[in-house]
Amino acid sequence: MTAIAPMSVERYQRIRKLLSTRQPSLTVCLEQVHKPHNVSAILRSCDAVGINRIHGVWDHKTKLRKGTAMGSEHWVKTEMHSSISDAVGVLKQQNMQVLVTHLSDDSVDFREIDYTQPTAIVLGQERHGATEEAIALADKNIVIPMVGMVQSLNVSVAAALVLYEAQRQRDVAGMYDALQLNEEECQRVLFEGGFPVLANVCKNKGLEYPHIDEGGNIVADASWWQRMQTTAKAMHKLELEGNSEIEYEKRHRGNR
């Protein structure tokens, strides 16, 4: 297989810098947030404050608007769950305090929460908010104080406000000064961010990711390269065949 050039030093260092500030103990869980522009905007805020993985509960697949996400979907992974109970169960297994944005008699000001603790923030559906099940499963209800006639904010705006309070507290506590991700997760991000085409090949064919060294090079044995070469050739052939069919359709469309 043709030698693959390493990623540039600049890109390697930029990704490593990104990884050094990621906050695996901070996340959000989107419960039936169905408007793509809201999901994309929340992802963008998550990326901005260092969240590397979010959780989602949807009845159907929600597509991201890439123009709104500004590429954040490549750096913030979404872990899907079949129900809110499953999602909260996973979060509590990680010893996270689970907060839900919900106005009630026992709601607390979102700024009173200690976000230096492992924290998950549940955000409910745009029109109806969090479900009764989500509210019951959460450890605390949080609210953003408002003095206007309208007593609710757009879900992506609410997410940004809460996340930046979490970012402020964590920054003061020095939590952005030391690497918190394990090396396995760092390697995943380095490969997907540095070699996106090869990463897609691996995903499509179930191939394991190789190691990326400090020079941005792929370190893999001969068998991995052989499987990659075979897979890449097959995909390239299918791509060429697909393009040929498209061109044929274009040329003959006027004759039908």
Rounded Cα distance between 124 and 155, Å, is 8
Q: According to the annotation, is 153 in a ligand binding site?
A: yes
Rounded Cα distance between 119 and 27, Å, is 6
Q: According to the annotation, is 144 in a ligand binding site?
A: yes
Q: According to the annotation, is 101 in a ligand binding site?
A: yes
**Long-range contact set of residues 209-213: C-beta below 8 Å, sequence gap at least 24:** 211/187, 212/7, 212/12, 212/187
The strand ranges marked E within the chain are: 26-31, 53-57, 77-81, 97-101, 108-109, 119-123, 140-143, 211-212, 218-219
Written as six digits, the tokens of 46 are 């998550």
The distance between the two most distant Cα atoms of the chain, rounded to a whole number of Å, is 70
**Residues 173 and 116 sit within 8 Å (Cβ to Cβ):** yes
Binding-site annotation: residue ranges for S-adenosyl-L-methionine = 101, 144, 153
Binding-site annotation: residue ranges = 101, 144, 153
